[in-house]
Structure 1
Amino acid sequence: MEILRLVLVFIHFLGLASLLGGLLVQMRGPERRIVPAVVHGALTQLVSGVLLVGVLEGPLDESLNHAKIGTKLAVTLVITVLAWINRKKPTISTGLYGALFLLAILNVAVAVFWR
């Protein structure tokens, strides 16, 4: 089961890279939009995160901070829904772009700093 946990963590990091990478490449551009990397990264983070919690609580029987997991899930759901709803629009507002970027950074901060 430990190898499954490591594979899920790896996939989770790939989702983060896709999400943040899709946002960062547009930082200086005149117009911003939801590129497929953002949607796929958000969905990858959502699915791999839920599976990771299932593996940790199930077979590995680890004690988890449910408030932290719930916060990360809520932030990821908001990112995913915003990206999904706006994925077909030719451009998005600077406010939406900023919100997505800050929410993604917030999720990383919660993962790192909340013990």
Structure 2
Amino acid sequence: MEILRLLLVFLHFIGLAVLIGAFVAQVSGRPKGGGFTVTSGMLHGALTQLVTGLALVGIREGALDLPVDNVKIGVKLLVLIAILALVLVGRRKSLATGGFMAIGLLSVLNVGIAVFWT
């Protein structure tokens, strides 16, 4: 089970890197005055985070029988749902600066919650 958990953590980090990397690439490559377009990398990164995060919680609680901070996981899930909502809206039409920046800010917030909430 430990190998599966480590593989899921690895994939969770990959999803985070893809989400934030695609965000940074879009911000740095945007022409002045143009809108922001959500790329498929941002969608796939966010979905990877969702699937691997849920699997990690399931393995931790179920197979490893370790305690989980349900409030922390709930907050992280709500932040990720907000990210996914913005990403899905941005896939349909160009996002305004505030909406697009919220994706990056919420992604960094989720990392902060994971690291600093003990």
TM-score range, shorter chain: over 0.9
The alignment of Structure 1 onto Structure 2 pairs a total of residues equal to 114
Where do 1:1-115 residues align within 5 Å? 1-28=1-28, 29-30=30-31, 31=34, 32-89=36-93, 91-115=94-118
Instruction: Give percent identity, aligned residues only.
Output: 49
Give CA deviations for 1:2-58 in whole Å, capped at 9, x if unaligned: 011001101100100110011001223233210000000000101110011000000
Supply the RMSD in Å over aligned alpha carbons: 1.0
Q: Which runs of 5+ in 1 are unaligned?
A: none
TM-score (normalised: structure 1): 0.94
Secondary structure at 1:16's aligned position in 2?
Answer: helix
Q: As a proportion of its length, which structure holds more helix?
A: 2
TM-score (normalised: structure 2): 0.92
Runs of 4+ deviating beyond 4 Å: none
Give CA deviations for 1:77-103 in whole Å, capped at 9, x if unaligned: 1111211122132x2110011111100
